């Protein structure tokens, strides 16, 4: 098994914001706290230790034990649940939606990064304990984003009525999903194990949160992963003071808006805050809270509250208040003894908008860690690349650029007019000097003619390239085939494919392979070649 590492910036798939962060550009420093290195984690441990109380640990422990009451838990996860009561125990956390059968591959990579980071920190700080956490986004209501997963060229969808928090959705209708999924799997032992995993998760659990907990626990429980459901009345009680502040003072809106003005001068803003960044959550309802005409109203309903009534509602029913993308990070950080949040590039982008909000509510801002990214390639696919003389880095190129590069290598004719262009530019340089000495107004005509002739050479080069593409159409087809296999829909494999395609090939070796061959603090794209 071969492993290759590529700088994130060399792939072309990561934003300027993320690349600048990894390069520790000084213009970004005010938008985050500690950097993800040993010194940063040492400082983060000290700040979190003083900010997280013993009662908070007890409340978290009690809530999680209740959440796990129907789950067969591994010894490693059980030990980590107990360790959360210890003042020297800290968490590292990732979060994600309840995508059907984990959704895209990067779901696994998030959790692999969290588990590896906990192990790495234990080696660096042996006197402390570190618990990897997966925070289930059970309160999300974007059903369209989670209701399907892709296996090779097939989209498997769960078609059901949805409303409110997705975690509360009943798993009715999954028989049809299972049958469709099962039909595209093979007959191998690994294929049967994949079927059994899906069946036990979605046909033997009543709702989506329990199905997801079962699935993730089956895959990662043995590594000590602790799974948290934020849709919990015990945990929400700690969130209640922040809910009140948000309703009365619009704190997140005010602070994030100020940050956005500064951040937007260099970078794209990922999310826009609302004046109130909370939803009202009840039964199958999850709607925005709006303040207008001196009353709080619930969007798309007839529900209305006076200020007094709304404060009473928070006191008596904190579970009815659900944070949106702006406030969920605060919620996570006040209920967990957390040091770091692990996310993808787009996800971390909105965390940079939140630093001043964290400061305003006096909550330690976590270290931001870019999750591992992986391309899984078979030995056969890598052999195809070698025969085409395509390097591991080059396979990330846009397809037309990649094809042009390979065709130029395979062509018996030189498809590069650089020498001719240089000669032409030298000739026009002499003409320009002559024009300056004779009639300076003639210079514009010389420049125009130079541009025209250079464009002509460009067009001739393109025509010659297209002619060679037609002549070497077999090579073009081979390039497209292997790149389309590795980059479905011309996008990263991890954003499109489901883990089941690789679980069927690798079985129980898949996750250990990922854990062994990725480094949570290396910040490079990993290409893993397997049999």
Q: What are the angstrom distances between the C-alpha of 107 and each of 24, 104, 194?
A: 26, 6, 17
Adjacent-strand bridge partners of 175? none
Query: How far is 389 from 475, CA to CA, in rounded Å?
Result: 11
pLDDT confidence bin for 437, thresholds 50/70/90: confident
Task: Write out the DSSP string of 440-491.
Answer: GGGHHHHHHHHHHHHHHHHHHHHHHHHHHHHHTHHHHHHHHHHHHHHSGGGS
- 3-state SS class at 182: helix
How far apart are the C-alpha atoms of 74 and 76, rounded to whole Å?
Answer: 5
Task: List the single range of 230-234, 375-379, 432-436 with lowest mean pLDDT.
Answer: 432-436
Distance, CA of 71 to CA of 430 (rounded, Å): 81
Structure confidence at residue 427 as a pLDDT band (50, 70, 90): confident
**Mean predicted confidence (pLDDT) in 468-483:** 89
Fold of 28-236+330-372: Rossmann fold (3.40.50)
Length of the chain in terms of residues written: 531
Residue 410: per-residue pLDDT: 74
Give the whole-angstrom CA distance, residue 421 versus residue 444: 19
Under DSSP, is residue 326 helix (H, G, I), strand (E, B) or coil? Answer: coil
pLDDT above 70 covers a percentage of the chain that reads 99
Domain boundaries, the chain: 28-236+330-372, 414-471
pLDDT at 453 over 90: no
- Residues 92-140: tens digit of each pLDDT: 999 999 999 999 999 999 999 999 999 999 999 999 999 999 999 999 9
Give percent of the chain with pLDDT exceeding 90.
84
Task: Round to whole Å and give the CA distance between 512 and 30.
Answer: 37
Segment 298-336, tens digit of pLDDT = 999 999 999 999 999 999 999 999 999 999 999 999 999
176-213 pLDDT tens trace: 999 999 999 999 999 999 999 999 999 999 999 999 99
Look at residue 450 in the predicted model and tell me its pLDDT.
79
Determine contact, residues 499/376, Cβ cutoff 8 Å: no
How far is 427 from 442, CA to CA, in rounded Å?
Answer: 16
- Segment 232-236 shows an average pLDDT of 95
284 DSSP 8-state letter:
T
Q: What is the mean pLDDT of residues 203-230?
A: 97
Q: Is the pLDDT of residue 277 over 80?
A: yes
Question: Which residue from 310, 321, 286 is spatially nearest to 300, judged by alpha carbons?
Answer: 286
The pTM for the full model equals 0.92
Residue 437 Cα distances to 149, 425, 426, 428, 443, angstroms: 70, 19, 17, 14, 10
Q: In terms of Cα–Cα distance, which of 46, 134, 138 is closest to 88?
A: 46
Q: What is the pLDDT of residue 472?
A: 78
Q: Where are the beta strands (DSSP E) in 165-307?
A: 226-229, 278-282, 285-292, 295-298, 304-305
The pLDDT of residue 411: 72
Count of beta carbons in the 10 Å neighbourhood of residue 189: 10
CA distance 111 to 138: 17
> Considering just the CA atoms, what is the radius of gyration of the chain in Å?
28
Is residue 440 pLDDT above 70, yes or no? Answer: no
92, two tokens? 């590292």
Structure tokens at 478: 């081979």
Task: Give yes or no for residue 79 having a pLDDT over 90.
Answer: yes
3-state DSSP call for residue 176? helix
381 has a pLDDT exceeding 80: yes
3-state secondary structure of 251: helix
pLDDT tens by residue, 22-60: 999 999 999 999 999 999 999 999 999 999 999 999 999
């Amino acid at each position: 098994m071969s492993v290759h590492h590529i700088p994130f910036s060399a792939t072309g798939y990561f934003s300027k914001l993320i690349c600048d962060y990894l390069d520790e550009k000084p213009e970004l420093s005010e938008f985050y706290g500690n950097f993800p290195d040993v010194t940063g984690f040492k400082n983060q441990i000290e700040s979190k230790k003083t900010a997280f109380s013993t009662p908070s640990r007890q409340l978290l422990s009690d809530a999680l034990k209740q959440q796990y009451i129907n789950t067969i838990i591994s010894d490693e996860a059980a030990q980590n649940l107990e360790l959360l009561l210890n003042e020297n125990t800290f968490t590292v956390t990732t979060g994600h939606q309840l995508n059907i059968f984990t959704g895209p591959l990067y779901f696994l990579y998030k959790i692999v990064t969290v588990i590896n980071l906990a192990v790495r920190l234990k080696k660096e700080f042996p006197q402390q304990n570190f618990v990897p956490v997966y925070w289930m986004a059970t309160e999300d209501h974007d059903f369209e984003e989670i209701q399907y997963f892709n296996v090779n060229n097939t989209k498997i969808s769960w078609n059901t009525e949805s409303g409110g928090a997705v975690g509360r959705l009943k798993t009715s209708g999954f028989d049809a999903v299972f049958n469709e999924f099962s039909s595209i799997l093979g007959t191998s032992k690994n294929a049967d194990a994949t079927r059994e995993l899906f069946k036990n998760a979605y046909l033997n659990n009543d709702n989506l949160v329990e199905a997801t907990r079962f699935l993730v626990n089956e895959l990662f429980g043995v590594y000590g992963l602790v799974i948290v459901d934020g849709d919990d009345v015990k945990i929400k009680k700690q969130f209640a003071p922040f809910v009140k502040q948000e309703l009365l003072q619009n704190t997140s809106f005010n602070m994030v808006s100020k940050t956005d003005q500064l951040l937007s001068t260099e970078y794209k803003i990922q999310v826009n805050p609302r004046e109130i960044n909370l939803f009202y959550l009840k039964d199958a309802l999850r709607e925005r809270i709006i303040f207008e005409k001196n009353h709080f109203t619930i969007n798309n309903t007839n529900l209305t509250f006076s200020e007094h009534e709304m404060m009473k509602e928070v006191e008596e029913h904190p579970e009815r208040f659900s944070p949106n993308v702006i406030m969920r990070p605060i919620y996570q950080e006040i209920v967990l003894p957390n040091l770091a949040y692990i996310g993808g590039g787009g996800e971390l982008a909105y965390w940079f908008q939140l630093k001043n909000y964290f400061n305003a509510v006096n909550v330690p801002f976590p270290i931001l860690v870019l999750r591992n990214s992986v391309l899984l390639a078979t030995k056969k696919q890598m052999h195809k690349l070698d025969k085409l003389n395509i390097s591991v880095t080059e396979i990330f190129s846009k397809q037309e650029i990649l094809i042009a590069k390979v065709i130029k290598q395979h062509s018996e004719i030189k498809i590069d007019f650089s020498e001719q262009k240089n000669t032409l530019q030298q000739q026009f340089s002499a003409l320009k000097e002559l024009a300056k000495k004779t009639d300076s107004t003639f210079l514009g005509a010389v420049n125009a003619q130079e541009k025209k002739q250079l464009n002509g050479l460009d067009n001739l080069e393109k025509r010659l390239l297209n002619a060679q593409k037609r002549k070497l159409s077999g090579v073009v087809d081979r390039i497209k085939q292997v790149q389309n296999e590795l980059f479905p829909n011309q996008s990263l494999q991890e954003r499109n494919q489901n883990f089941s395609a690789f679980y069927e090939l690798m079985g129980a070796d898949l996750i250990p392979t990922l854990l062994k061959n990725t480094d949570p603090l290396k910040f490079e794209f990993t290409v893993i070649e397997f049999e």
